[in-house]
Structure 1
Amino acid sequence: MLSEKSDFPITGQTPEGKKAKLDVGAVHGEPSQPSLSIPRFVALNPADCDLDFEIGFNGLLGSSLYEKGFAYCWSGARANAGIKRGKYCFGCKIISKQPVIMEDTPPAERHECRVGVSRGDNAVGSLGQSLHSFGFGGTGWFSSAGTFHNYGEPFGVGDTIVCCIDLETKPASIGFFKNGKWMGMSMQFEVVDSPIIKHLVWESAFFPHILLKNVVVTLQFSLEDGLEGVEGYKPWFSAIEDGKALPGPTFSEVHDCEVIMMVGLPSSGKSTWAEKWAKEHPEKRYIVLGTKLILDKMKGPGRLYSYGGRFERLMESATEVFNTLLPMASKLPRNLILDQTNVYKNARKRKLKSFLDYKKIAVVI
């Protein structure tokens, strides 16, 4: 559960008082295989975040949509520079809570934050849930591969968490500081390269990763960002100076992107096909947008739905979130798979109306 204190009186806003927004001008359309063009600075990556994740304040401010059904959704993002060797650290300060109405949810589950690292081939919504991701949550739990254990102390608004990863020693290790206090090593692990399909440099690198629900945070990748030095670990930005940084995915232009529309009756295998296709084409960075994705975003840390136990309301909220994300997605340079039945012509026309500049593909099952 996050505490009530805050450095900024206006919830969900930057220090300048401007609401955090995704800087679409800094995003480039279709995902392309990155060259070894290392970024000049470290920031949250607009090409490697959830659709409802918002980035602002020079790429260091992170938040997500929180109105109505979005209040129940986790939203994640990674940084634009990863590492495969070295000892580096970065910080995350929890700035404020976002105002939500969640009377059917325990207070401790209304505002949450998880900080850590993950390998580039992991989904941005799965920090601590997948095999090569490691996250420390505000409730005082550490998780990896969906396994949770008590670790450190709970943290909340006003606290700063520094994540330290050591890829020099074998096995590798990860640990965290809270407000300058060492929480101890949280886990040792073996570094295993991703089974690269498309020879993408970011698939096997580890990136700073945050997963949020109804909070606003600022990231610290350098001393200039406010990161306090940690003995034995360099600021994450130093990986660029050391020649050890690897770039995350990037995008080109919207008109180079594609939207795949699944068409078929319920339980015909659409979701199975879509997930398999997305996994086999990691260079495309497909977002499989459908009710299943949104239900997964509404799952709590134990992979249980956190929406008050009423499935009808859960589905109603998930549909509302989908209908909000769809027009948003048409304005962002991302490759999409629309995973719904889409059996009616008028529904297909309505959903694709805003995707004028996209290449449109139908997959009928």
Structure 2
Amino acid sequence: DEDDKSKPAGSDGERRGVKRQRDEKDEHGRAYYEFREEAYNSRSKSPPPPEEEPRDGEDDESAVILDTYTSDLQFRANKDRYGGQPLFFEKFPSLWAGARSTHGVSKGKICFEAKVTQYLPVKEGSTEVPLFRVGWSVDFSRSQLGEDEFSYGYDGRGLKVENGEFQEFGQTFGENDVIGCFANFQGEEVVELSFSKNGAEVGTAFQISKGSLGDRPLLPHVLCKNCAVELNFGQKEDPFFPVPDGYVFIHTVPVEDRVRTPLPPKTTEECEVLLMVGLPGSGKTQWAQKHTQENRDKRYNILGTETVLHQMRELDAKSRDALLQTAAQCLSKLVQIAPRAKRNFILDQCNVYNSGQRRKLLAFKGFSRKVVVIVPNEEDWKKRLELRKEAEGEDVPESVMLEMKANYSLPEKSDYVDEVVFGALPKEEAQPLVSRYREEARKLLPPSEKRANRRNNRNKRNRQNRNRGQGYGEGGHR
């Protein structure tokens, strides 16, 4: 436990100690904020996650509604699943939230409508503005509409976006505006995607080669930030605005001409959570991404800092340090609510504290709970840390790395761990290496009493920062 892990390897007099070059609050970088959150939460108890609200249409596989299985975890669908909004708009106003429909199409002239029903209030002092993006995408594309291949969005800033490239298009739109989205598959060589605003034609935004699209169906897709949206797939008696001749709403397309995305698991017993364990730079994110690609049918949700940072990305880049603080705290919230969703998860964080491992996995009661330990050989790890520093322009603070090493605990199979997998070195090679890291770090760190006092002071500062909306967070690691 934590008290045992904090005990010195030798007497206090044998410790050399590490002189701090600057105060902790002046240290920056992803690892710093990730460690602060992990250390802060290592002694806290997780409240039981709220039960997922029952949704209308769960048993009707033919209904065209928003898909809560493939949506962002932070997207809160309405009970009827014909609309929704971001879940954390007050606390994390820079976080986008997206969702696709349960069905896609690959022929005909198909449409749907999306209305921005409300701009949501954000916390005082926030400079974030409500934004909405709507369009079409293929299954397995990212929730960030328009930011990867075969994903096409019309953005409220008067932009169109495809494969991460933004271009001026049409008009701006916002609260109370209705955007019509039209997909014309009847051309011989291309699929045309066009839009309207409040019934007036905006024009064709995208022409997609049928040869490159292949037989992939296109699905309605929405992405919102600080706003609530309502969708009309054709379930409404009357459309918001008349649609062009020849187009039909996707809801009215015969079932046999629609493509249903895979159904979600019916029980948590069909779901699994993989808890990554390893020091910064050990290769956890790489392993998680590779495993996800090799097991696409499981549709893993990777909960890590990089994923959250991507969902907070703006055209006008903000301070990376401020983004890291916000992303890390947001990630902790996502991990907390994840157990209420029937999905497969990978928790891409350091998770070196035994108490933190236990706290997180206990919340996933009913899931298949596995731990994936990544311990590369020392030479490879040093190379990875150098590459990380080059890519991110930051080093892992020495004090943070020593604290992590000193508290590194390899998990064992238990009542909350069904299986332990070693993804790099096997256990017989990883165990002595981790033990050496731990003993070396404890000799270099200050005496345990001073560490405890410093930790208590740090946790007090974190609580104060959280009350001011500046809390630290925990996140994923490469």
**Would the TM-score normalized by the shorter structure come out above 0.5?**
yes
Aligned residue for 1:239?
253
**1:336 and 2:345 matched:** yes
Unpaired segments of 5 or more residues in structure 1? 1-20, 29-36, 196-202
Unpaired segments of 5 or more residues in structure 2? 1-50, 375-478
**1:323 and 2:341 matched:** no
User: What TM-score, normalized by structure 2, do the two folds share?
Assistant: 0.63
Aligned residue for 1:171?
190
**1:191 and 2:200 matched:** no
Quick one: structure 1 residues 223 and 66, their matched pair in 2 at CA, closer, same or farther if it must change by over 3 Å? same
**SS of alignment partner, residue 244 of structure 2:** coil
The farther-off stretch of 273-282 and 330-339 is 273-282
**SS of alignment partner, residue 72 of structure 1:** coil
In the alignment, the residues of structure 2 paired with residue 361 and residue 219 of structure 1 have an alpha-carbon distance, to the nearest angstrom, of: 38
In the alignment, the residues of structure 2 paired with residue 138 and residue 25 of structure 1 have an alpha-carbon distance, to the nearest angstrom, of: 29
In the alignment, the residues of structure 2 paired with residue 336 and residue 194 of structure 1 have an alpha-carbon distance, to the nearest angstrom, of: 29
In the alignment, the residues of structure 2 paired with residue 240 and residue 322 of structure 1 have an alpha-carbon distance, to the nearest angstrom, of: 41
Question: Mapping of 1:207-286 within 5 angstroms?
Answer: 207-222=219-234, 224=236, 226-227=238-239, 228-241=242-255, 243-251=256-264, 252-286=266-300
In the alignment, the residues of structure 1 paired with residue 64 and residue 195 of structure 2 have an alpha-carbon distance, to the nearest angstrom, of: 20
In the alignment, the residues of structure 1 paired with residue 308 and residue 91 of structure 2 have an alpha-carbon distance, to the nearest angstrom, of: 10
The alpha carbon displacement at 1:104 in A equals: 5.6
In the alignment, the residues of structure 1 paired with residue 237 and residue 86 of structure 2 have an alpha-carbon distance, to the nearest angstrom, of: 21
Aligned residue for 1:8?
none
Match of 2:155 among 137, 143, 153: 137
Aligned residue for 2:475?
none
Q: Which has the higher helix share?
A: 2
- Asked whether the equivalents of residues 89 and 235 of structure 1 are also in contact (C-alpha less than 8 Å), the reply is yes
Aligned residue for 2:102?
80
- Asked whether the equivalents of residues 90 and 121 of structure 2 are also in contact (C-alpha less than 8 Å), the reply is no
The alpha carbon displacement at 1:245 in A equals: 0.2
The alpha carbon displacement at 1:69 in A equals: 4.3
Aligned residue for 1:162?
180
- Asked whether the equivalents of residues 56 and 79 of structure 2 are also in contact (C-alpha less than 8 Å), the reply is no
Aligned residue for 1:11?
none
Match of 1:348 among 351, 357, 376: 357
Residue-by-residue CA offset, 1:3-61 (whole Å, 9 max, x unaligned): xxxxxxxxxxxxxxxxxx96445698xxxxxxxx9833211011120001011141112
**1:42 and 2:64 matched:** yes
**SS of alignment partner, residue 350 of structure 1:** helix
Quick one: structure 1 residues 41 and 142, their matched pair in 2 at CA, closer, same or farther if it must change by over 3 Å? same
**SS of alignment partner, residue 205 of structure 1:** coil
In the alignment, the residues of structure 1 paired with residue 156 and residue 217 of structure 2 have an alpha-carbon distance, to the nearest angstrom, of: 25
Aligned residue for 2:322?
313
Residue-by-residue CA offset, 1:185-209 (whole Å, 9 max, x unaligned): 11111135779xxxxxxx9221000
In the alignment, the residues of structure 2 paired with residue 141 and residue 152 of structure 1 have an alpha-carbon distance, to the nearest angstrom, of: 7
Q: Which has the higher strand share?
A: 1
Residue-by-residue CA offset, 1:98-134 (whole Å, 9 max, x unaligned): 10137463xxx5200000000012022x211111010
Quick one: structure 1 residues 73 and 127, their matched pair in 2 at CA, closer, same or farther if it must change by over 3 Å? same
Q: Read off the aligned partner of 1:290 and give its amino acid letter.
A: G
Quick one: structure 1 residues 70 and 269, their matched pair in 2 at CA, closer, same or farther if it must change by over 3 Å? same
Aligned residue for 1:98?
120
Q: Read off the aligned partner of 1:204 and give its amino acid letter.
A: R
**SS of alignment partner, residue 358 of structure 2:** helix
Match of 1:113 among 126, 132, 157: 132
The alpha carbon displacement at 1:249 in A equals: 2.4
Paired-residue identity, %: 31
Which has the greater radius of gyration?
2
**SS of alignment partner, residue 268 of structure 1:** coil
Aligned residue for 1:361?
370
- RMSD of Structure 2 on Structure 1 (CA): 2.3
- Asked whether the equivalents of residues 23 and 56 of structure 1 are also in contact (C-alpha less than 8 Å), the reply is no
- Asked whether the equivalents of residues 89 and 95 of structure 2 are also in contact (C-alpha less than 8 Å), the reply is no
The alpha carbon displacement at 1:96 in A equals: 0.4
In the alignment, the residues of structure 2 paired with residue 142 and residue 312 of structure 1 have an alpha-carbon distance, to the nearest angstrom, of: 29
User: What TM-score, normalized by structure 1, do the two folds share?
Assistant: 0.82
- Asked whether the equivalents of residues 55 and 80 of structure 2 are also in contact (C-alpha less than 8 Å), the reply is no
Count of aligned pairs: 320
Residue-by-residue CA offset, 1:58-80 (whole Å, 9 max, x unaligned): 11121112345421111100001
In the alignment, the residues of structure 1 paired with residue 221 and residue 287 of structure 2 have an alpha-carbon distance, to the nearest angstrom, of: 28
**SS of alignment partner, residue 47 of structure 1:** coil
Quick one: structure 1 residues 314 and 190, their matched pair in 2 at CA, closer, same or farther if it must change by over 3 Å? same
Quick one: structure 1 residues 46 and 276, their matched pair in 2 at CA, closer, same or farther if it must change by over 3 Å? same
Quick one: structure 1 residues 326 and 94, their matched pair in 2 at CA, closer, same or farther if it must change by over 3 Å? same
Q: Read off the aligned partner of 1:117 and give its amino acid letter.
A: W
